[in-house]
Amino acid sequence: MSLTITKSILVLTTIFSLIQSPISATTPHVINFRSPNLYPESVSYDPTAQHFIVGSLRHPTILSISDAGVVNTLVSDQSLPANSTFLGVTADVTHNRLLAVVYSHSDPSNCALAAYNLRPPHNRLFLTTLHDPASIIFAPGANDVTLDFSGNAFVTNSASNLIWKVDLEGKASVLSESKTFTKTPVPDSPYSLCGLNGIVYCSKGYLLVSQTNTGNLYKVDYEDGTTRRIQLNRELIAPDGIALRSDGVLLVVSPYKLYFIKSDDSWSSGVVYDETTLDEEKLPTSVTVGAEDRVYVLNGHVKEGVLGNGQRDDFSILEVRSEDESGEEAIWVYVLIGFGLLYFLVWRFQMRQLYTNMNKKIA
């Protein structure tokens, strides 16, 4: 009988743990971190070091943020032009580089792309100027950056609506300045000066790009720059940073929402199948994919940073989940619970029959 009791306890413990899993899964992970007047605009994830990377709108610094919120300085480049700060950042694990878009508050028309060693001592590899005469204060030219497997970087231009390509050695050229980008902005939008913004490379041979002032998404051939607008089933409001999960789901963050988008035709069209409301006061501007395909949004309070009238040292990186996907996961958990209960009842019945038969033989 002791064996029967032990097995019963084991089965009940397993079922109880399954019941608890949907409850624990509902709690999103929040990474709070502190750095004086950082105001980060972009976030990336370094899977090898297992930490997040952020830049700063106030300082020429790039920081790493651990899962526990521990802050370390990776880059503090005082040799950059005066009043330079960092916008888009991304980790190039394949080529051991850290790429960062440099914004000059003194001369917004002369932004740049900088490359640093990803591992210590993080020395600078190159600094490539990305000149844009159309750029003005509060509407920087160079904005966000992504890269392909060969080490080519692609940088969006917010003012002139073009995409630069910067090769592994730091040589820059214009990949696309398609007229497809020049759509009429949404009337009375507070983001009317913000054009092309988020950008991500897809391994199938194209780039996906967001345009903030129109709400559009674009598919751009990464070799010849051919550009097409992606047809969506609903309007996006002020899309900013974007990221791709390993299952092909596109994540688009705006100051108001995080959109979950999928496509069955290689991004000729897309379906927004879920959206999560975000805290507009914290002005989320960037999204990245961390360990286990978890989705994280950066709350950098960028509006305060841009206006220059804030003094803040607390920021956060928030895990965001799709309610639809979480619901599907919960259903599967309860299905497993059902199977577990069924197995337990059948096993109990068999053990009872066995015990009864043994008593009859003894008698």
- List the CATH number of the domain containing 41: 2.120.10.30
Residue 257 lies in a domain: yes
Residue 27 lies in a domain: no
3-state secondary structure of 179: helix
pLDDT for res 108: 77
pTM more than 0.75: yes
Q: Decide if 231 is inside a domain.
A: yes
Q: Same domain, yes or no, for 233 and 339?
A: no
Same domain, 277 and 156: yes
54 and 92 in a single domain? The answer is yes
| Token pair for 104 | 């000059």
Q: What is the pLDDT of residue 73?
A: 97
Smallest CA-to-CA distance from 125 within 115, 134, 111, 133 is with 115
Q: Is residue 158 assigned to a domain?
A: yes
Q: 311 and 350 share a domain?
A: no
Query: What pLDDT is attached to residue 363?
Result: 55
Cis peptide before 133 (omega within 30 of 0): no
Query: What was the pLDDT predicted at 26?
Result: 57
pLDDT, tens digit only, all 363 positions of the chain: 455 555 555 555 555 555 544 444 557 899 999 999 999 999 999 999 999 999 999 999 999 999 999 999 999 999 998 899 999 999 999 999 999 999 988 887 789 999 999 999 999 999 999 987 666 555 557 999 999 999 999 999 988 899 999 999 999 999 999 999 977 777 667 777 789 999 999 999 999 999 999 999 999 999 999 999 999 999 999 999 999 999 999 999 999 999 999 999 999 999 999 999 999 999 999 999 999 999 999 999 998 888 777 789 999 999 999 988 865 444 444 445 555 565 556 656 676 766 666 665 565
Amino acid at 317: I
Same domain, 136 and 198: yes
Q: Which tokens sit at 278? A: 């975000």
Mark which of 320, 336, 351 sits at the end of a domain. Answer: 320
Residues 64 and 148 occupy one common structural domain? yes
Residues 309 and 343 in one domain: no
In a domain, 260, yes or no: yes
Does residue 353 share a domain with residue 261? no
Q: Are residues 285 and 331 in the same domain?
A: no
Residues 75 and 163 in one domain: yes
The whole domain housing 57 covers 32-320
Q: CB under 8 Å to 356, separation ≥6 — which residues? A: none
- Statement to judge: residues 189 and 162 lie in one domain: yes
Instruction: Give me the number of domains the chain comprises.
Output: 2
Q: Domain end: 305, 320, 335, which one? A: 320
Question: Given the DSSP bridges, would you call strands 295-299 and 284-289 parallel, antiparallel or unpaired?
Answer: antiparallel
Pair 216, 183: CB distance under 8 Å: yes
Check residue 361 and give its pLDDT: 58
Residue 65 in domain: yes
> What residue spans of the chain are helical by DSSP H?
2-25, 302-307, 323-362
Q: Give yes or no: residues 233 and 291 share one domain.
A: yes
- Own/partner pairs for 225-229, CB < 8 Å, 24+ apart? 225/163, 225/174, 225/175, 225/176, 225/177, 225/178, 226/176, 226/178, 227/176, 227/178, 227/180, 227/181, 228/180, 228/268, 229/180, 229/183
